[in-house]
Amino acid sequence: MDNRYISLEWRPELARPVLIAAFTGWNDAAEAASVALATLRESWAAQRFGFFDAEEFFDYQANRPQIKLVEGVTRTIEWPENHLLATATSLDAAGGRGAVLLSGPEPSFRWRSFSEAVIELARELAVELVVTMGALLADVPHSRPVSVAANSQDPALVENLGLSASRYEGPTGITGVLHRACAEGGLPSVSFWAPVPHYLPAVPSAPAALALLESLSRLLGMNVDTSSLELGAASYQEQVSAAVSQDSDLASYVRMLEDRVDAQADQGPRDLPSGEDLARELESFLRDQRREEE
């Protein structure tokens, strides 16, 4: 593979792979997306196979290298880096398909070059679909289920899978640029976003990470071990509720948010396809895409 921005330590051979990305920083409120990707890595025993050239993409004053001690004596430097990991080809947990995981901080520079390098890698590995996970601060209560938004810039995916065409206008992160590059390159892509309470920006949100993985699993028909996240989500709810109850102003505000969410829920749920139907529709869509390319 001749990609000036990516170094491969070995080349994975994957069956019908999907590329799943999450970046720390602006796109990762309450660390929900990065926690979700770390859970995938652990659940699927994904192994690192490559990395991006950090010198091309990072401002080291914004993402500082870390000094580490090795065996309490030797000092080494760990540089910020975007890692590439891959599952085993025959991973049943991924619905019979392979997966490439892209993780690390949001790049500081050259977003278009970074996105083009991702697209080039995806084509080299015959990736069928790109999925990103992100999280944003929103006026939602911690005490209600996390409602994940799924959208795409691919009109065919929007129509076939019943997703939303994003109507957002405003500042964007690397995920927005990457999805635009996918659309321009004819590579199907889906973006998942989980809202987290804006009054808890520094508290890692296990509930939001769990919701992202549940949405991903429904779309791809994949199995993920989320047992540790489920325990973490229960602990999160218990500890946050206890802390909120100690602040009367915050408790009143949370009750207002709960009333708003409950009123919207009373209007009735949307008629959404089941997880099996969604996975089946995606398989049909990707199969049609392969036929068009042949």
Q: Please check the confidence at residue 42 and state whether its pLDDT lies above 60.
A: yes
Q: Range of 57's domain?
A: 6-267+285-293
d(CA 132, CA 219): 12
Domain-located, residue 176: yes
Binned at pLDDT 50, 70 and 90, residue 15 comes out as confident
* pLDDT at 165 (0 to 100): 76
CB-based contacts of 12, cutoff 8 Å, min separation 6: 49, 86, 89, 98, 100, 125
CA dihedral sign, ordered 10, 38, 283, 190: negative
Domain-located, residue 274: no
d(CA 121, CA 21): 13
d(CA 174, CA 91): 29
In the DSSP assignment, the letter for residue 16 is S
**Would residue 52 be called left, alpha or beta, if left means φ above 0 and alpha means ψ between -120 and 50 degrees?**
beta
Q: Please check the confidence at residue 70 and state whether its pLDDT lies above 70.
A: yes
Number of H helices, E strands in the chain: 9, 11
Domain-located, residue 1: no
Domain-located, residue 273: no
The 10s digit of each residue's pLDDT in 131-161 is 999 999 999 999 999 999 988 887 777 877 7
- Give me 146's structure tokens: 């996390």
Domain-located, residue 277: no
Helix ranges (DSSP H) in the chain: 32-44, 54-57, 111-124, 155-161, 174-185, 206-220, 227-245, 248-266, 275-293
Structural domain tally of the chain? 1
Domain CATH code at residue 46: 3.40.50.10900
- Decide the pairing of beta strands 6-8 and 47-52: antiparallel
| Mean pLDDT to the nearest integer, 62-69 | 89
Domain-located, residue 44: yes
| Mean pLDDT to the nearest integer, 31-46 | 95
The 10s digit of each residue's pLDDT in 181-225 is 999 999 999 999 999 999 998 889 999 999 999 999 988 888 889
This prediction's pTM: 0.88
The 10s digit of each residue's pLDDT in 75-134 is 888 889 999 999 975 554 556 789 999 999 999 999 999 999 999 999 999 999 999 999
Amino acid at 241: S
CA distances in angstroms from 102 to 4, 23, 81, 181, listed in the order given: 17, 8, 10, 16
d(CA 24, CA 37): 10
* pLDDT at 275 (0 to 100): 58
* pLDDT at 265 (0 to 100): 76
Domain-located, residue 129: yes
Q: Please check the confidence at residue 163 and state whether its pLDDT lies above 80.
A: no
Mean pLDDT of the chain: 87
User: Among residues 212, 218, 187, which one has the least CA distance to residue 118?
Assistant: 187
Domain-located, residue 175: yes
CA 259 to chain centre: 29
* Neighbour count for residue 248 (Cβ, 10 Å): 9
